[in-house]
Structure formats: C-alpha cells, structure tokens
Amino acid sequence: LIIEDETAIVAYLQTELKFEDYIVLTASDGEMGLSVFEQNSNRINVVLLDWMLPKRDGLEVLRRIRKLNSQVSIILMTAKSDIGDKVAALDSGADDYITKHFEIEELLARLRVTIRHQNKPRPKLYQ
C-alpha cells in the first residue's frame, strides 16, 4: 500500500513495483490510506507512507495502523531528514525510514529486507 499525495511519485512507484511483481494499492491522503488499509489489511504486507499528507499526517496514520495491526511493515518516506524526525517516526512504530529523493534501487532493497524479515520464524524466548 502506497499512501502518498504526490501523484508523480505514486505513478513512478506504482510502475516500478508492478514491474517487480508487487501488487500495489494506493491512497492519496491520510484518511483514504486508513480506509484502504482497513478494507485490505489481510492482503497488505508493507505500507509505504508519506509523512506530509492531507487530512491526516503520516505519523497519525502510522499510529492508527499500529493500533489496527502491529505486524504490518511500515516504511516512512519523507523529505524530513532531521535526526529528531527520524527518531520520532521510528519510535512511533515505523520499521524503516527513507528520505526523499531516494533511488528506486534503495527502496526495492529495503522492501526485500522487510519482506525477508516477515518470513522468518520468530523465537518465543529471547536471551
């Protein structure tokens, strides 16, 4: 699921991800993103989430998704590069953080890592 309000970025990501055989859902604002997520949560493995969204900002969407489904991976995509912003996003529940304008190869690598981690069995006992 891509939740991003910049149509050029959505179109580019959608094209690249479909080429890599991902099934892509999109939403152009925070409220629509939450709605699409709620309707398709059982099918969504990764959310690519912009921080600066209309209607509900990315951090609010992130927190709401975490309340609905704590297992889905969320990669925050944003122009905010301040370390305080990165820490706030990760502490709010983001699994990863990528700063715009990123190269598609880096995003694809981060997606592969995220999906690889989803497929690993998790130990019940931590030492």
Domain residue ranges of the chain, discontinuous segments joined by +: 2-118
Domain 2-118, CATH homologous superfamily name and number:
Response regulator (3.40.50.2300)
Q: Is 1 helix (H, G, I), strand (E, B) or coil?
A: coil
pLDDT confidence band for 55 (50 / 70 / 90): very high
pLDDT confidence band for 8 (50 / 70 / 90): very high
Using CA of residue 52, residue 57, residue 63, residue 66, what is the dihedral sign? negative
pLDDT confidence band for 118 (50 / 70 / 90): confident
Strand order in the sheet with 96-99: 26-27, 2-3, 46-50, 73-78, 96-99
The one-letter amino acid at 109: A
pLDDT at position 127 is: 55
Half-sphere exposure of 90 (CA within 13 A, CB side): 10
Q: Of the given ranges (7-16, 63-72, 112-121), which has the lowest mean pLDDT?
A: 112-121
